[in-house]
């Protein structure tokens, strides 16, 4: 996992804990004074404020993370080795190229027929990433491999009767 991914994961974890603590605090304080009158107008005003805060936080998270996604326009060459992959019922066709540890790879994915899910597993069969491949569209995905060995590909989207057999592999060397 990359450093940015760890920062994002920790950030979400901390945010999640804060939200849970906040909800617990609100529930706790609301159960204390049971007999007081409820001012619904004040509550509806507060609701608007909270709605604004939630929208602000979500938009902030969106723009704070979207530029780090390893796909889309920014995943293209920029020093990366381009590997064209063709998905079709029921195989992933990967050219015989030599991929190196530590060198960014830009997968250029296309589909000849229906939607497929290009999922890559490392030599220990640990899941690394998955990206949709849709017909009529070129999808990019950028990844830097950290260990040598034979990587396997599986299809993560049901694409027909041979879906469970759909796969492929490639090798990464030092």
Active-site residue numbers?
90, 92
Site for Cu ion in 63-122 (CB under 5 A): 116
Per the DSSP assignment, residues forming a β-bridge with 139 are 109
Q: How far is the CB of 163 from Cu ion (least distance, A)?
A: 5
Q: Which of 122, 75, 66, 129 is nearest to 99 (CA)?
A: 122
Strands 104-111, 81-88: pairing is parallel
Q: How far is the CB of 154 from Cu ion (least distance, A)?
A: 9
Q: How far is the CB of 90 from Cu ion (least distance, A)?
A: 6
Smaller CB distance to Cu ion: residue 30 or 169?
A: 169
- CA 20, CA 15: separation in Å to the nearest integer? 9
Smaller CB distance to Cu ion: residue 153 or 172?
A: 153
Stretch that binds Cu ion, among 16-24, 97-105, 122-130, 153-161 (CB under 5 A): 153-161
Among 94, 106, 133, 155, binds Cu ion (CB under 5 A): 155
Residues 87 and 118 sit within 8 Å (Cβ to Cβ): yes
Q: How far is the CB of 76 from Cu ion (least distance, A)?
A: 24
Q: Output b/e per residue, 25-57; b: 16+ Cβ within 10 A.
A: eeeeeeeeeeeeeeeeeeeeeeeeeeeeeeeee
Among 166, 168, 170, 172, binds Cu ion (CB under 5 A): 166
Q: Which stretches of the chain bind Cu ion, using CB under 5 A?
A: 116, 155, 159, 166
């Amino acid at each position: 996992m990359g450093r940015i991914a760890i920062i994002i994961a920790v950030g979400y974890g901390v945010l999640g804990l804060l939200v849970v603590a906040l909800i617990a605090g609100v529930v706790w304080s609301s159960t204390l004074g049971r007999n007081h009158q409820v001012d619904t107008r004040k509550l509806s005003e507060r609701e608007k404020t909270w709605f604004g805060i939630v929208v602000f936080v979500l938009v902030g998270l969106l723009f704070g993370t979207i530029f780090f996604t390893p796909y889309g326009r920014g995943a293209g060459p920029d020093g990366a080795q381009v590997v064209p992959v063709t998905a079709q019922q029921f195989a992933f066709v990967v050219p015989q190229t030599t991929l190196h540890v530590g060198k960014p790879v830009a997968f250029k994915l296309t589909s000849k027929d229906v939607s497929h899910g290009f999922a890559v597993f490392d030599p220990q069969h640990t899941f690394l990433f998955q990206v949709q491949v849709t017909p009529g569209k070129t999808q990019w995905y950028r990844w830097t491999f950290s260990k040598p060995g034979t990587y396997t590909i599986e299809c993560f989207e049901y694409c027909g009767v041979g879906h469970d057999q759909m796969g492929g592999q490639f090798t990464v060397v030092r």
